[in-house]
Structure 1
Amino acid sequence: QLFLEAPSSSRRATAFFALVTLCIFVQVALILVHSGSFSIECRDEQPDAAFNESSSCERNVYYVYCFLSVVFSVELFLRTISKRSLRELCSFLWWVDLIAIMPFYLNLLLLAVGLPENWEAQALASCFRMLRLFKLFRLNSDTATLTRALSLSWRPLSIPLMLLFLGSILLGSIIYAVEQAELGRELADTTFPDVGTGVWFMIVTFSTVGYGDVSPKSHSGRAVTVFAIVCGVLFMAMPLSIIGNNFTLAWEERKKLDAVVALQRHCIDRGLQAREITALFEEADVSGDGTITYLEFRAFMDHIGMALKPSEARNLFAAFDDAKTGVITFYEFCHLVFPDLDVERLSANLVMLPTPLQKSECRSPVPTMGPLPGNVATGAPAAERPRSPSVLARKEHAKEHVKELSVLARKE
């Protein structure tokens, strides 16, 4: 599953990701060319012509289409066998893959049975193949930010959408009535023959599109339209601001998620389990006082390969510092890195080691997981606990890095 979902995990995953992306764009280009786009005609004059009598262009397109279908079939098979549960298997994008690949096998079935080709059915099948463009949302990690922003916006957007629904019906009925009253039924029927046309005109006006296919001819109708235009300008400001603000929040959440994933990957590289998170916290806690300061946090982020700007580092540090005390405690660290780990319940069975609280009374000591595997608890204070040579070397390096950051901070 990592091979399919994380293209940067290996060279093979990157190559497979590039191949699938290229195949998607090639298939979209083939559909456009095969439909006659770009003034290129690449299909037979007789729809029911036999394949061996088809033009060379038609045969080449069919061969390329078969190759692309094989690639997509292999990808669908790999994604199917990699799913760990039925809920993961029946995801939206899995159904998109299945529906997009079905026209190829249905076409093979029709050829095997000997039924003639139907261009209307092929046009419908091309629409299904276009669904494969949704795969680009899965292949691009940044699209998750847009999805998150839309999910945060759907409930606030219900208010302007309700205003659009009510306003279009109300003003559409009014403009129909005033046009009929001022111009007469015969002349008004040429512009607004029914209320539905008035509602359509108001929706187009509210959205500031203005197709121009329908327009009022009476003075009263134009006055109503001016009012609708002003309402449309005010109406469009609401959804744009809602989505824009939520996109900013989603982008900040993405930065937080990237940091959590980097920390979890660092645990995997070191062979640490979720219950051995104290070792990870001790790596970041250079001073050994049971809390992580901002400079220690910056040094640790650089160590795990996350190059953050000062503003991004401050925002990320504030996300970890849930109590807003200026330092990150062990529990705040655990809640964000391993949200599914019930640290408070595990703490009931842990040996709480006394640690010097030098900076704030709200800082909690780091629990050492005595009865759990891989624990190094000895009952000594955190600063005196035995550490492996690699951890000691990491501590010395981090201390030097913290000193460098302190010097840079004073210069700024």
Structure 2
Amino acid sequence: MSQPEFKYFPKIRKQLFTVVFGTETRAGKLFDIILLWAIVLSVLIVMLESVKEVRDSFDSWFFVAEWFFTGLFTIEYILRLVITAKPGKYAFSFFGIIDLLATLPTYLTLFVAGGSYLVVIRSIRLLRIFRILKLGRYLREASVLSNALVASRHKILVFLGAVFTLVMIMGTLMYMIEGGESGFTSIPRSIYWAIVTITTVGYGDIAPQTITGQAVASMLMLMGYAIIAVPTGIVTSEIATAEKNKKEMEQSKKNLEQSSGRSCTACGVKGHDEDAIYCKNCSAKL
């Protein structure tokens, strides 16, 4: 994020902006690392508080720690608003909304019991680690996966429609075969059994008792293994296509760069800058 122009207290606000929003300086990186550890500790405290034995032993400590972290994150959020030239832009940005949500759950406990457990929302703030550790290239790779999922959405929807039709038919069939004596008390409950079976989860709360029902169940289980492979193949195919398109775009960009600019008289390679002295391919003098 580039430094904005400040109207009031420009020097102090610019220094704070560099520390709070930047990661290029030592102080900025240290600030973000401390912030990430505070987020991890606050989420860990909420998880431990949900354990009855631990909560009974350290209830007062949890109370103090939670309000300490909430106060810390509240001060941080207000500080970000103050040192930003356009507070509204930050407040309605992705991280701005997450930063606000990270402070609200504890205040919510003043009105709603159990609201403090919503502080696990703070874990989303750990996404800042991508900015701190310069992991932006992984986000670019993630875009390839998201593009593949978007491209395969129609095929996946057709697949889900076919699976839904199958479980409705099989659920209705099992309801007719087994009946309420075996736990298939209604068609919706039988459809639930078909979904659990075809996804190979198998809770075991409902099971066919007749030979015919067990035969149908066995067939549905085997179909489940085949069905699971379908969406995997669809997404894998789209990922390969997206990767191919990405490489083609990079190659076309490279070719475009090479086709423009100065040419080397020795090897004929193009794409040199106007102020270049030596060829980037054969090192001959231009």
- Say which of 202, 215, 220 aligns to 1:228: 220
The one-letter amino acid paired with 1:62 is: F
User: In 2, distance between residues paired with 1:209 and 1:41?
Assistant: 34
Q: Is the 8 A contact 1:176 1:192 kept in 2?
A: no
The one-letter amino acid paired with 2:126 is: L
Q: Relative contact order, CA 8 A, sep 6+: which one is greater?
A: 2
Q: Secondary structure at the match of 2:56?
A: coil
Q: Is the 8 A contact 1:208 1:232 kept in 2?
A: yes
User: In 2, distance between residues paired with 1:177 and 1:34?
Assistant: 47
Structure 1 residue aligned with 2:72: 71
Structure 1 residue aligned with 2:252: 322
Q: Is the 8 A contact 2:167 2:195 kept in 1?
A: no
Structure 2 residue aligned with 1:267: none
Structure 1: state its 5+ residue gaps: 44-56, 111-117, 257-314, 332-354, 367-381, 404-412
Q: Is the 8 A contact 1:168 1:199 kept in 2?
A: no
Structure 2 residue aligned with 1:124: 115
1:30 is displaced (CA, Å) by 0.9
Q: Is the 8 A contact 2:175 2:185 kept in 1?
A: no
Structure 2 residue aligned with 1:134: 124
* Shift in alpha-carbon separation, 1:201–1:79, aligned structure 2, 3 A: farther
Q: Is the 8 A contact 1:179 1:216 kept in 2?
A: no
- Say which of 39, 42, 47 aligns to 1:32: 47
Q: Deviations over 1:2-53 (max 9, x none)?
A: 655664x22122212211211121112111222226x42337xxxxxxxxxx
**What TM-score results when the alignment is normalised by the length of structure 2?**
0.68
1:238 is displaced (CA, Å) by 3.1
Q: Is the 8 A contact 2:106 2:115 kept in 1?
A: no
Q: Is the 8 A contact 2:77 2:99 kept in 1?
A: yes
User: In 2, distance between residues paired with 1:165 and 1:17?
Assistant: 46
The one-letter amino acid paired with 1:164 is: L
Structure 2: state its 5+ residue gaps: 3-17
* Shift in alpha-carbon separation, 1:98–1:245, aligned structure 2, 3 A: farther
Q: Is the 8 A contact 1:28 1:130 kept in 2?
A: yes
Q: Is the 8 A contact 2:77 2:100 kept in 1?
A: yes
The one-letter amino acid paired with 1:123 is: G
Aligned residues: 259
- Say which of 97, 101, 110 aligns to 2:103: 101
The one-letter amino acid paired with 2:124 is: F
1:215 is displaced (CA, Å) by 2.5
Q: Is the 8 A contact 1:150 1:243 kept in 2?
A: no
Structure 1 residue aligned with 2:93: 91
Alignment partner of 1:192 is 2:194:
no
The one-letter amino acid paired with 1:156 is: S
Q: Secondary structure at the match of 2:73?
A: helix
Structure 1 residue aligned with 2:31: 16
Q: Is the 8 A contact 1:171 1:224 kept in 2?
A: no
The higher radius of gyration belongs to 1
**What TM-score results when the alignment is normalised by the length of structure 1?**
0.50
Structure 2 residue aligned with 1:240: 232
* Shift in alpha-carbon separation, 1:211–1:330, aligned structure 2, 3 A: farther
Alignment partner of 1:213 is 2:209:
no
Q: Is the 8 A contact 2:174 2:184 kept in 1?
A: no
Q: Is the 8 A contact 1:175 1:198 kept in 2?
A: yes
Q: Secondary structure at the match of 1:168?
A: helix
Structure 1 residue aligned with 2:13: none
